[in-house]
Structure 1
Amino acid sequence: MLTDPTFYLLAIPAVILLGLAKGGFAGVGAIALPLLALRISPVQAAAILLPVLVVQDAVGVWAFRKNWDREVLALMIPSAMVGIVAAYFLAAKVSATVVLAVLGAISVVFACYRLWISRGGRVPVSSNAPRALGAALGFASGFTSQVAHAGQPPFQMWVLPKGLSPQVLVGTTAIFFAVINLFKIPAYVALGQFTHENLTAAAVLIPLAIASTLLGVWLVRRVNAERFITIIYVLMIVVGLELLFKALR
């Protein structure tokens, strides 16, 4: 079992943010993996967080089970699975330094995109864009989710212009990521990352994950957390740049 106090100092806020994201504060959980990668390898960090995500997904899907869009899921889930397979081969064939650099770059791009959207920037996809683009964005979402548990930006580029109601948007997002997180499990098994140490660390964090997800479900209907979310994305840029510098070193 991981006993490093610094790991848990990073893991506890990371899991809380994951829970808030699963509960409806879309995107803020993307900083969780970069935070853990400051202390352990990004592939190990992703393997520890995956069981946590699966449990949180179950809570989120149950909470929003009546609100989802069938067309979006039917288009994007199959292509996302192809993206997951492609990312698996990346992690299996390249060094940890390359994975660290990819994670850092994804973190910076993700945070900049979210800040741009929050400042009124337009999603660069129209509501009547061809379905082939939706499939391509599904692939990108699966790829970035496998590498960094950060598949939100490509997914949102396709979904946000659809004008779904807030409840349907949250529910569709919850189901999409629940399915692809389950699909990621065999990839991490093949990478040899579901060790006793990693699974024990995940088990320690799961109760906090459930509590924070329920908190997110409760809060998302009651508060406007725009300033809090902005701070998280700025912090994510800082962490992403640190990961890039770490990879370069």
Structure 2
Amino acid sequence: MVDLGWVAWVLLAAAALVIGLSKTAVPGAGTIAVAIFAAVLPAKQSTGTILLLLIVADLFAVTLYRRHANWRALVRLVPAVIAGVLLGVVFLAFTDDWWVKRVIGVILLAVIVITLVRRRMQAVEQAGPNRVAAAAYGTLGGFTTMVANAAGPVMSMYFFAARFPVKEFLGTAAWFFFLVNLAKVPFSIGLGLITVPGLVIDLVLVRS
């Protein structure tokens, strides 16, 4: 059911390790894992397969920072994130692997640019998040996480603007991605993104 060579398994194992690090020690590194999964597996299947690994990693992050979330900030994002996720669902429902793979590539490149811009831009940080920012970042975050599981840098930029203490920043981000990723599971099953071969891959990677 899972016909992968040893090189592919090594790459997927490395990506799984990166996912764990991205949730607990190196935020933003998850984009590397997304790129590896999309390169090794069919694009749509890769999004569903990596989603389950992200949820496992989210459990560790939530356990570590479960008491430090800013729930007011999370609630403010709900409408925009839902809109973004639904846009992602529509996109995935009407596109094939060719388009999905290329859009994932564009998103990953955009994420790199956003990360670089975040290091140089002070205006957003000084202004702090507001309703417009919540709508923009929430929608973009919802779409990118549904299509490519790559909303980390986007949402980190929003949370960073709130100037949370370090633990509150980590806790808010941990709960955000845990809840959003769980909400994506029914859509991913309905779209056929989560497959039996993908589950086998996840089981092997989690146990290893």
The TM-score normalised by the length of structure 1 is 0.77
- Cα 1:149–1:121 change in 2 (3 A) is same
Q: Which residue identity does 1:186 align to in structure 2?
A: P
Structure-1 separation of matches of 2:29 and 2:128:
28
Aligned equivalent of 2:172: 172
Aligned equivalent of 1:42: 43
**How far apart are 1:81 and its partner, in Å?**
2.2
- Are 2:97 and 1:96 aligned? yes
What is the CA deviation profile of residues 150-175 of structure 1, one whole-angstrom value per residue up to 9, with x for unaligned ones? 11233123211211111111111000
Aligned equivalent of 2:28: 27
- Are 2:3 and 1:6 aligned? no
**How far apart are 1:193 and its partner, in Å?**
2.6
- Are 2:73 and 1:58 aligned? no
Aligned equivalent of 1:148: 148
5+ residue gaps, structure 2: none
What is the CA deviation profile of residues 9-47 of structure 1, one whole-angstrom value per residue up to 9, with x for unaligned ones? 221111111101111321111221211211222211111
CA RMSD, aligned part only?
1.8
- Cα 1:205–1:157 change in 2 (3 A) is same
Structure-2 separation of matches of 1:169 and 1:105:
27
Kept in 1: contact 2:89–2:146 (CA 8 A): yes
Corresponding pairs, count: 207
Aligned equivalent of 1:214: none
Relative contact order: is structure 1 or structure 2 higher (C-alpha 8 Å, sep ≥ 6)?
1
What is the CA deviation profile of residues 124-146 of structure 1, one whole-angstrom value per residue up to 9, with x for unaligned ones? 46534531321221111010001
SS at match of 1:27: coil
SS at match of 1:88: helix
SS at match of 2:177: helix
5+ residue gaps, structure 1: 209-249
Q: Which residue identity does 1:88 align to in structure 2?
A: V
- Percent of matched pairs sharing the same residue: 26
